[in-house]
Structure formats: structure tokens, C-alpha cells
A and B are shown apart, each in its own frame.
Chain A
Amino acid sequence: AQTVTQSQPEMSVQEAETVTLSCTYDTSESDYYLFWYKQPPSRQMILVIRQEAYKQQNATENRFSVNFQKAAKSFSLKISDSQLGDAAMYFCAYRMGGAQKLVFGQGTRLTINP
């Protein structure tokens, strides 16, 4: 079974600084997709960024970028120029190609210090 591991239960960063959240996953599949979701205090799940396993280029969405290391099965999220509104729980998720369900990690709580 596929598993997703986020080894950092909590992280904090100063406003305007850069922070990296770690995620590793375990799969024997070659076709899959990876995602980062943000969960603010409202508890809604908001898609931040996605990465297709077949793409070598790392995905970027404005201040958010990923470092996808397929051989190492690592998928970290980098947030640049951190803002107070970035404070939230961040969940890494995996989806096998052809399957429907997402498998989530345990989450990392990110605090932004003003």
C-alpha cells in the first residue's frame, strides 16, 4: 500500500523568509501524482500545487514551488516570501495513476512569525 510521510509535525518561519516542508512517499508505481494541500483554521482543504510523476520539471505556483526527487521519493514544498496568510496545516498527498483516492500524510503545522 502507498504511504505518505511528513516528518515535521510543526514548522515556523519569520514573515518574508523562505521555508521548506518535507514529504516522502512509498510506492512501486511509475504513474502517479503528488499534491500539496493547505488547511487554514477554517479547515477547508485548498489545493496549493500539483506534480505529475512523469514530468521532470518541478511545479511552481507563484510563491510556492516543489522539489520533486523521484528516485528518492521525495516531494518537498518551498514557500518563498512567507506571509501571515500562509499559516495553516499543510498536507502532502499521493494519487496513483488510474486510481481515484488520495492518500494523505499526517500534516505539518506552519506558523508564520511577524
Chain B
Amino acid sequence: EPEVTQTPSHQVTQMGQEVILRCVPISNHLYFYWYRQILGQKVEFLVSFYNNEISEKSEIFDDQFSVERPDGSNFTLKIRSTKLEDSAMYFCASPGGDRAAFFGQGTRLTVV
């Protein structure tokens, strides 16, 4: 299965602090996605990003969130001022054949 890499694997941050989660999607893919999974709940779509622009976002993806492509191969998800309820697993994903999505190993964000 193609590889999507996320860093860090676990991040602990103080409430109100900014966090940046990083992703290296499958090479040469213009699309990538971010999903979130609060502990014990289902995986939820946050945003899709295509060719340096947001192509679709959910209602969860409010002004506190932003996505960027700081260089050719890396993508980031930024949460400007974290809240306790932002504690979750955050997954980056790349599209695969047959419309599937291949997920990274996830970043566990803990807001204290």
C-alpha cells in the first residue's frame, strides 16, 4: 500500500496554543485530505486540498483551522488556538486507485 507519512505521532499542547501537524502524501499527488477522529468516535472529514487550494471543507473546519503547502512535498494542518475539544487523532490521506484514500499513521493531539 502506498505510504503517507505524518509527524509528529503524538503532540501535547496547552489550551490556546497553536499547533502544526505535518504530512507527506503519496508523491506527485495534487490532492490530499485531513480527517479527524475524536477518541471512541467515527472518523470525520475536515478538508480536501487540491493544487494549493481548498476544494472542499466540512463545518468542523472553521476559522481556527488552516491548511498549507509550505513546500513541494509537505502539507500542514494548523490549529490557531487549540481547545480541549480539539483533542483527537488527525489523519492525512492521499487518493488511491478506485477512489479509495490511503491514510497516514495519524497524529494524536492532546490539548491540556
A→B interface (CB under 8 Å):
33, 35, 37, 42-47, 50, 52, 91, 93, 95, 97, 99-107
14 example contacts (A-B, Cβ-Cβ < 8 A) are as follows A35-B100, A37-B103, A42-B105, A43-B37, A43-B105, A43-B106, A45-B91, A46-B1, A95-B99, A101-B48, A101-B58, A102-B101, A106-B41, A106-B42
Interface contact A33-B98, CB-CB below 8 Å: yes
Question: Please, what's the 1-or-0 string for B1-42, where 1 marks a CB less than 8 Å from any CB in chain A?
Answer: 100000000000000000000000000000101010100011
What is the total number of residues of chain B having a CB less than 8 Å from a CB of chain A? Answer: 30
A44 to B48, CA, bound (A): 19
A91 to B43, CA, bound (A): 9
Q: Which residues of B contact A42 (CB under 8 A)?
A: 105
Report if B89 contacts A (CB, 8 A).
yes
Q: Which residues of B contact A107 (CB under 8 A)?
A: 42
What is the distance, in angstroms, from B73's C-beta to the closest C-beta of chain A? Answer: 20
Report if B56 contacts A (CB, 8 A).
yes
Question: What 4 pairs between A and B have smallest CB-CB spacing?
Answer: A45-B103, A101-B45, A100-B48, A33-B99
